[in-house]
Amino acid sequence: MAGVGANRLPEGRSFLAVTDCPDVVNDLLGPLAFLLTPVTITMGELWEEYWHAEGQHKRPTYCRDLVLYSKNFCDAYADRDVSSFDHRNLTKAMTAVWPDAANSSWNSAKRTLSPLFSYAVKHDYLKVSPVSKVQGRTHSKAETTVYDVQQVQRLIAECDDRSRLYWSLAVFAGVRPLELTRLDPKDVSINDHRIVIKSSVSKTKTPRVIDMSDNLASLLEPLL
């Protein structure tokens, strides 16, 4: 047994040192080799798999951000293995893709990369997601600009019909920009003097009804 690297147990029994018997190792572990081989996938492949499985089924505005940020990142590192990223080199890679990103854009990029890497963990391409340790950026809110009546009147007067409708609802009814892109004209009632913001339209997913002033109604009547 010494010739094959025998080891002695305390009770006198011996076993083969597996490092000295590669054929034995192959016979024993061959059927389980797939468990020992790490599953790898490139960023380009991950994007395609994630997009078709989950990404394209999310709400439209989130799909837009996924394409704007996550796809952009995956295209830049299409041939790089997903498992090569930890939070440090992911931060460097994000900085390379968005060197001049505003803080809000950086945070949006991090937010949309998170489900992509979580998908990689879920499907055993990664042990842990590196995104959670990427530092977010705080940004101070800019001072609010207040326009006087004359400035608002001039703005609306110089708009085309589509833009006039947009700015009238934004300025005089407080409808958020994102909500304006979702709002159905049928939910704006001149006769009832009200605007219905449905949960599917609301930024906060909370429905509400906005009372329409006489001035707003007169502005909207020729547009609807």
Q: 172: domain CATH number? A: 1.10.443.10
Is 143 contained in some domain?
Answer: no
Maximum separation of any 2 CA atoms in the chain, in Å: 101
Mean pLDDT throughout 174-187? 90
Residue-number span of the structural domain to which 127 is assigned: 43-133
Write down the mean pLDDT value for the chain.
82
Check whether 196 has a pLDDT greater than 80: yes
Q: Which of 101, 133, 165 is the last residue of a domain?
A: 133
pTM higher than the cut 0.75: no
Total number of domains constituting the chain:
3
Six-digit token pair at 102? 């505003």
Domain end position, chosen among 79, 102, 133 = 133
Are 116 and 157 within one domain? Answer: no
Judgement on whether residues 59 and 128 belong to the same structural domain of the protein: yes
Q: 4 to each of 13, 78, 155, how far by Cα in Å?
A: 15, 47, 90
User: What pLDDT score does 18 carry?
Assistant: 45
Domain boundary among 86, 102, 133: 133
12: left (phi over 0), alpha (psi -120 to 50) or beta: left
Q: Is the same domain home to 83 and 51?
A: yes
pLDDT tens sequence across 80-121 = 999 999 999 999 999 999 998 888 889 999 999 999 999 999
Beta strands in the chain (DSSP E): 6-8, 14-16, 188-189, 194-197, 208-211
